[in-house]
Amino acid sequence: MISAMVYRRASQIVAVLFLVLVSIIFLFPIYWLVSSALKSTGRLWAIPPKLLPNLGLGHVWHIIAVNHLGVFFWHSLIESVASTIVVLVLATMMAYSLSRHRWKHRTGIANFILSLKIMPPIAVIIPLYLMFTTIGLYDTVPGMIIVYTLFNLPLATWLMLGFMRQIPMELDESARVEGASDWQVLRHIILPLIKASLVGIGAVCVMFAWNDYIFAVSLTNTHAVTLPVATEGFLGDYIYQWSSFYASGSLEIVPMVILALILQRYLIRGLSMGALNN
């Protein structure tokens, strides 16, 4: 009995130490990025390296004032939020139709929608570039909103479909007996039951669009450049502006970390439910 308790206790300690070690390994690059953005130039290049910052915001103010990084931040914010709103609206309507109505080939269409997410983004870069340059959407904010909408819509639709399939059809039938239309069923019954899932899917879509690099670097040049592309621009062929790179990287990553911490319970609850159902 005693040996079993000791073994169980030792296993718990080892598991906790392992999780702490893994957390340090994954979180240290983020800490180094943010702390380097807050270091003075001398402390940044000190040998041996200094782990603790001196909480200086000089590099951050420099890239905002001199490099106009606030403009790129605004581009990322507008493109991420606007595309997410469009994705949630379209995914909700598509998932509602696929889950609440029985019509021919709906399973095949649902599988086709998911297969679009499997396709690598690089496969559509050249067609999108040629199309956007032809119709005038290259290097425009509306063009990037369309791209991120197309990029996030398959996954959002599939997850939303999983959530709606968990809602009993009897609720719809009861509402229709009372004379409710499809729109009223969706608005007054379905949406209130999946609002937590909507928040989780919206957060994932915002993060995907915010962190995107391949679409932004290929389809923008000046007027719609996002923060990841601007951050990469500090590391040129011959000049490496590491202090500005750290500061820009911190501005890029901190909002998403805060968003994930605020919405983590929605992310875990909502997305895990959809994954298990699917």
pLDDT of residue 277: 47
Q: Are 151 and 113 contained in the same domain?
A: yes
Q: Are 19 and 112 contained in the same domain?
A: no
pLDDT class for 215, splitting at 50, 70, 90?
very high
Query: What is the C-alpha separation between 86 and 43, in angstroms, rounded?
Result: 45
Q: 141-165 vs 69-100: helix axis angle to the nearest 10?
A: 40
pLDDT class for 269, splitting at 50, 70, 90?
low
Domain housing 138: 59-277
Q: Are 123 and 45 contained in the same domain?
A: no
Q: Are 51 and 64 contained in the same domain?
A: no
Q: Residue 268 is part of a domain; what is its CATH number?
A: 1.10.3720.10
The pLDDT tens digits for 167-186 are 888 887 888 887 878 788 88
Q: Which of 39, 56, 73 is the last residue of a domain?
A: 56
Q: Decide if pLDDT at 120 tops 80.
A: yes
Q: Are 29 and 68 contained in the same domain?
A: no
Q: Are 142 and 24 contained in the same domain?
A: no
Q: Are 125 and 191 contained in the same domain?
A: yes
Q: Are 167 and 67 contained in the same domain?
A: yes
Query: b/e map of 221-257 (b: 16 or more CB within 10 Å)?
Result: eeebbbbbbbbebbeeeeeebebbbbbbbbbbbebee
- C-alpha distances in Å from residue 23, one per residue of 16, 19, 27, 247, 266: 10, 6, 6, 23, 21
The pLDDT tens digits for 232-257 are 887 776 667 777 888 888 888 888 88
Q: Decide if pLDDT at 274 tops 60.
A: no
Domain count, the chain: 2
